Amino acid sequence: MRLDPNTHAIFVPVEVYHDGEYRAIQMLVDTGATFVSVPPDFAESLGHDLSQATRHITLQTANGLRDAPLITVQRIRVLGVDANDVDAVCMTLPSENKLRGLLGLSFLKHFDMDVHFRRRVLRIR
């Protein structure tokens, strides 16, 4: 993927699959995030009932501690590579940064990732 030389962050198009459905979302690549993060409404649009979530996690965020449901999504596809059974935390990110999701280590740990800033290229393999 070509990187935008004028941005201070790396956003990637992501497809999240569950029960034969998928939804697309732009995510920030965040190697400091333990989990993929998706908004609650996004998870619910894929059929997850967050009121019935059996796993919750307390996360340290930039805005303090937050409790959030932890779900497993069947598949996540990014730049042509897929990972199955990926844990994702369901939380709304602060609205001032306009982020909808984070691509964290629960996905990234399955791959090698190369970021070549001078060549403006991101590769996940």
CATH number of the domain at 11-124, out of 3.30.420.240, 2.40.70.10, 1.10.2020.10, 2.40.50.140?
2.40.70.10
Average pLDDT for 48-74? 91
Beta-strand (E) ranges in the chain? 11-18, 21-29, 36-38, 56-61, 64-78, 81-90, 102-103, 113-116, 121-124
The domain ranges of the chain are: 11-124
Tens of pLDDT along 81-113? Answer: 999 999 999 998 876 567 889 999 999 999 999
